[in-house]
Structure 1
């Protein structure tokens, strides 16, 4: 179903290779599942679940599936099938453990080389993965081709305010201010993330919307994932901190 092409020449560290480092994987899992201190838990995930709606009967592809925690939720909620791909062998190892005992499947495939026949999926999701991708147009076109008519693409990325802000000198401390710089200078940027250096591709909000429409998707929703009050377990200080700046951008495209 999914095919990958020949390996690319070595280049900047991107999503898959970055997460194959054992210390990075450990820090990621701690960060991702840290409850009220995880921005994914209090901001990105509730917005995504709102837009997702019922997955009953849907064939789902997850681009950059990470540990596939969303896969278990979708299968439990009645999706017809769940298939995750990730460029990291370590991520897919963890994802397989997450999905053990379920019908969900994962494969180690670079997002930028994925392809599938027409009418393979009804829903494609990609959570915080496409800012690792250089050739976004090719990925979105491949998504459009593999969706059934009426199918949807739902993506979240690190908000352009964040991919454009200056690197901080003390990444281990909770950030209390943000400085946006060179916002309209798009392209690869080296970032300190989870104690290592990775390449993110900065794009403006306009760039993401234009890329979706250029791939023939109709823009169905755009959200900036405001923090969800009921996910903070009464920690008002953390809620106030998360209300200061957007961290995520969510876009939904539909295929005619």
Structure 2
């Protein structure tokens, strides 16, 4: 059964507050990295998987995309997307990727921001994405970095007696599969995969890896959001661009 944590009232209240802040990890690090991987979007048909509140879909239209099909499992997310980012060139659908249906070779570019690590069968999802891509089409996605998803326990930084970060502990890395973490609420389900599994799955479907990014914040970003400094010691996100 697919978890829909973003429709949990307590979780969504805190998540919404986080995303409303001017500077956060999404706006300051992950989204700039994702956008840097985009091709010239002029006249392209885009599928945005896990579209959330619709900002990225709107960005694609504003940057020349012909049309965006935006899917998300969350009612809460789509209500905001449709009220704040509605556009005649965007179709929002409340569907998971597992249930979404499209004819083969429907899209020039398929994007996903921090959604694929919620899906249990990565191999099947990449196969489905590959089928939906047109020849020479691109898949561009971000996930939580395997270093960040590896441990069974949520807390991974080791601190000294004065509360200073000493180092980051990695464990359970080769033990792929389901993880249950506490993030505002207990029992948030994600799936850990090694870096080699992610890359080799793309290759097994005939996709050519064009770029892999582990985003690093610049000095200006750290000044605006000091908690980003820890990204210099270990990455939170992994982004991949691959071509059919």
| TM-score calculated relative to the size of structure 2 | 0.89
Name the structure, 1 or 2, with higher relative contact order (CA <8 Å, separation 6+). Answer: 1
Q: 2:51–2:70: 8 Å Cα contact kept in structure 1?
A: yes
Q: 1:33–1:41: 8 Å Cα contact kept in structure 2?
A: no
* Deviation, structure 1 residue 23: 2.1
5+ residue gaps, structure 1: 1-10
* Deviation, structure 1 residue 175: 9.9
Residues 32-47 of structure 1 mapped to structure 2, 5 A cutoff = 32-36=19-23, 38-47=24-33
Does 2:204 match 1:214? Answer: yes
2:7 pairs with one of 17, 20, 26: 20
Q: 1:62–1:82: 8 Å Cα contact kept in structure 2?
A: yes
Does 2:142 match 1:156? Answer: yes
Paired with 1:129 and 1:237, the residues of 2 have a C-alpha distance of 26
Q: 1:75–1:82: 8 Å Cα contact kept in structure 2?
A: yes
Q: How many residues align?
A: 237
* Deviation, structure 1 residue 239: 4.2
* Bigger strand share: 2
Residues 51-130 of structure 1 mapped to structure 2, 5 A cutoff = 51-130=37-116
SS in 1 for 2:37: helix
Q: 1:61–1:121: 8 Å Cα contact kept in structure 2?
A: yes
Paired with 2:226 and 2:94, the residues of 1 have a C-alpha distance of 40
Q: 2:66–2:89: 8 Å Cα contact kept in structure 1?
A: no
Residue equivalent to 2:168: 178
Q: 1:189–1:202: 8 Å Cα contact kept in structure 2?
A: yes
Residue equivalent to 2:233: 244
* Deviation, structure 1 residue 74: 1.0
Q: 1:41–1:231: 8 Å Cα contact kept in structure 2?
A: no
Residue equivalent to 1:8: none
Residue equivalent to 1:254: 243
* Deviation, structure 1 residue 126: 0.6
5+ residue gaps, structure 2: 157-162
* Deviation, structure 1 residue 101: 4.3
SS in 1 for 2:98: helix
Paired with 2:220 and 2:43, the residues of 1 have a C-alpha distance of 29
Paired with 1:18 and 1:80, the residues of 2 have a C-alpha distance of 31
Paired with 2:209 and 2:21, the residues of 1 have a C-alpha distance of 32
Q: 1:109 to 1:74 in 2, by over 3 A?
A: same
Listed one character per residue, the Cα deviations across residues 113-137 of structure 1 (whole Å, up to 9, x for unaligned) are 2231122110000110010001111
* Deviation, structure 1 residue 214: 1.3
* Deviation, structure 1 residue 70: 0.5
Q: 1:155–1:251: 8 Å Cα contact kept in structure 2?
A: yes
